Amino acid sequence: GQQLNQSPQSMFIQEGEDVSMNCTSSSIFNTWLWYKQDPGEGPVLLIALYKAGELTSNGRLTAQFGITRKDSFLNISASIPSDVGIYFCAGYSNAGGTSYGKLTFGQGTILTVHP
Amino acid sequence: NAGVTQTPKFRVLKTGQSMTLLCAQDMNHEYMYWYRQDPGMGLRLIHYSVGEGTTAKGEVPDGYNVSRLKKQNFLLGLESAAPSQTSVYFCASSDRYQPQHFGDGTRLSIL
């Protein structure tokens, strides 16, 4: 089946540093999504990307839909302690003939920010 | 602006007991989903629904049943709970190929 390879699995950074994480796949995706999950809560949508090459920002977060449609990147600038959490990439693909549009998730990147 | 609401938030069951998890959404979404999240396993789809009165199996459906009698509600049932079903359960809703919106989860322990 389709898989999303998300890296890195975890990051330990100092407050103020920039963060980069990415997701790659062997399949083409038509939509890329980035979520953040805080401890004890559900995933919350950060950014949605719908076109190859699209670059979208949400405050200090910037995400890009790869030109090949097989990858996506998320950058966080000037990290702060509240950025701590698990970041998930997810994507919709039409491959496989699923009528409902299966959302495939990456395994997540655990971000720790030291003050 | 509730979004997706899950009840209960926590539950402890004994092996063999049954229970129902309730999910309600107020965004008029057609699609609803039930996931489980386990350490190191990410989010796995249990069952989903593409509209009122319809349900279908996801990746890990065994031991669970679902019903969608009303568009805004999606119920997940455990008929005979097993320790392997200890997990955090998330409900989500969306329109087709649109971002899914998640509830805050139900933490379920089976003793």
Q: What is the pLDDT at residue A55?
A: 97
Give the dihedral of Cα atoms B12, B13, B18, B24; nearest 10 deg. Answer: 10
Give residue A1's pLDDT band: very low, low, confident or very high (50, 70, 90). Answer: low
Is residue A108 over pLDDT 60?
A: yes
DSSP B83: G
Chain A 26-55, residues with CB within 8 Å of chain B CB atoms? 30-31, 33, 35, 40-45, 48
Tell me how close the Cα of B15 comes to any Cα of chain A, in angstroms.
24
The pLDDT of residue B2: 74
Who has greater pLDDT, B67 or B1?
B67
| Tokens coding B12 | 């402890």
Q: Most A CBs within 10 Å: which of B10, B38, B43, as the mutation test of the A interface?
A: B43
Please report residues of A whose CB lies closer than 8 A to that of B99: 33, 45, 48
In this structure, of A31-35, A100-104, B86-90, the range with the lowest mean pLDDT score is: A100-104
Confidence check: pLDDT of B40 > 80: no
Contacts A101 to B, Cβ<8 Å: 31, 96-97
Are the CB atoms for B100 and B49 separated by under 8 Å?
Answer: no
Which residue do the tokens 């950014």 mark?
A47
**Which one of B42, B90, B92 has the shortest CB-CB distance to A107?**
B42
pLDDT category at B39 given cuts 50, 70, 90 is confident
Chain A closest CA to B97's CA: distance in Å? Answer: 6
Average pLDDT estimate for A24-50: 94
A92 vs B40, B97, B105: nearest CB: B97
Res B41: pLDDT: 77
The tens digit of pLDDT for each residue in A41-91 reads: 999 999 999 999 999 999 999 999 999 999 999 999 999 999 999 999 999
**In the numeric block, which tokens belong to residue B27?**
């965004």
The pair of three-digit structure tokens given for residue B13, joined into one six-digit string: 């069951």
Q: What is the DSSP string of A10-76?
A: EEEEETT--EEEEEE-SS--SEEEEEEE-TTS--EEEEEE-STT-EEEETTEEEEE-TTSSEEEEEE
Per-residue pLDDT of B96-105, as tens digits, reads 888 999 999 9
Give DSSP secondary structure letters for B6-67: EE-SEEEE-TT--EEEEEEESS--SEEEEEEEETTTEEEEEEEESSTT--EE-SS-TTEEEE
